[in-house]
Structure 1
Amino acid sequence: MALPTGGRAKVLARRGRQRIYTRQNAEKSGGRKVRFKKTKLKDCWLIEPEVFEDFRGEYTMTYSEKVFAENGINVKFVEDDISMSSRHVLRGIHGDQRTWKLISCPHGKFYFIVVNCDQQSPDFGKWDSFTLSARNRNMVLVPPKHGNAHLVISESAIFHYKQSEYYNPEGQFTYLWNDPKFNIWWPVKNPMISRRDEEGHYV
């Protein structure tokens, strides 16, 4: 095989001097660390993965069963789902009695709320809010008996969620997004919502 000459030889020489960023290098330099932060709600966690950047782009570890277990979260996820919505679409408040959910935003940005919907809990009605985006890569772990809702605040956004139970529509509850007893603050007063969410229950 003939050796490269001229311009191609110079390009290869430059490449030879360039650092090669492999997954192994990423693990040494970053992109594998995850911070778990407590929220206002018991067992609800804000999860901040480290983003590793180089000349090619970015790398982020979004989920590791081992890392979660090391932080006291022993949840087995069995189903992944996504929804895509346009600006000012609001979905929620939805939840059930058994499912853990890990929420992230791989595209766009949305305002996300979690509310305690366990009527036997002294914290019933307590809520917390977060901004999840493709840029910050943050995630929220939502425990069972908690409702969640999101409002898209970018041109469009993808809502990605891992679930610990297979989806069962008959086991779902829906509360009104603007129930005065929850008194949740929303950045938009007149969002676009589905008929299901229009017909949600008051507390």
Structure 2
Amino acid sequence: MEIITTEFPGLLLVKPKIFGDARGYFYESWNKERYDAAGITENFVQDNVSFSSKGVLRGLHYQKPYTQGKLVSVLLGEVWDVVVDLRRSSPTFGKWQGFTLTGERKEQLYVPRGFAHGFCVLSETALFQYKCTDKYSPESEHGIMWNDETLNIPWPVQQPVISEKDTKHPRFKELSSELLFD
């Protein structure tokens, strides 16, 4: 596998080695020893899968105090995946970065604790997988408005399909210090 560092400290793009032939393909999606050697030493405790249609936008979500690091990937389809750095001590605090992840290329994005995360579906459908370092905690769930003017994320969908819950998140500038990370 190949590990690609990003301008955001701790945020890594993982490109697995894919073995393919006329029968199909095989790749290793998780191997603790190899990921530890690559610097992803988290203990993942929960796996989630979401299925979405074209134009669906999920996010921007995060948990605090029960924070989650995530290793995300697309099993089928294509998404534009976005992270926002909420770590006040980070040189990239308040900045976002986007990645196109596809089921064909099998990339994984390691999103450390302290980031908000979201994605929108570019293909007809997408099957999205999350490996999480802590369990889902409804009382710890928070978010940022997907179309926040300060972040100015250029989502590549004209009229995204959004859950009612995701229309009620605060703007980035409205986040109290308790909802940010040190």
TM-score higher than 0.5: yes
Aligned counterparts of 1:194 and 1:119: Cα–Cα separation in 2: 28
- Which of 29, 39, 49 does residue 6 from structure 2 map onto? 39
Percentage identity across paired residues of the two chains: 35
- Do structure 1's residue 131 and structure 2's residue 118 form an aligned pair? no
Measured on the aligned residues, the alpha-carbon RMSD in Å equals 1.2
Shift of the alpha carbon at 1:55?
2.3
Which residue of the partner structure matches residue 165 of structure 1?
134
Quote the Cα distance in structure 1 between the aligned partners of 2:131 and 2:13. Answer: 15
Provide the TM-score with structure 2 as the length reference.
0.89
Give the 5 Å matches for 1:173-192.
Answer: 173-192=142-161
Letter in 2 for 1:197: D
Counterpart Cα distance in 2 of 1:138 and 1:121: 25
Alignment partner, residue 11 of structure 1: none
Q: Counting strand residues as a fraction of each chain, which structure ranks higher?
A: 2
The residue type paired with residue 74 of structure 2 is C
Rounded Cα–Cα distance in structure 2 between residues aligned with 1:93 and 1:120: 20
Structure number with the bigger relative contact order (C-alpha 8 A, sep ≥ 6) is 2
- Number of residue pairs aligned between Structure 1 and Structure 2: 170
1:137-196 deviation per Cα after TM superposition (whole angstroms, max 9, x unaligned): 001000111011100000000111000101101112110111011111211132010011
Other structure's SS at 2:146 match: coil
**TM-score with structure 1 setting the length:** 0.80
Higher helix share: 1
Gaps spanning 5+ residues in structure 1: where?
1-33
Structure 1 residue 122, shift from structure 2 partner? 4.3
Match of 1:94 in 2: 61
Residue equivalent to 2:171: 202
Structure 1 SS opposite 2:130: strand
Q: Which residue of 2 aligns with 1:62?
A: 29
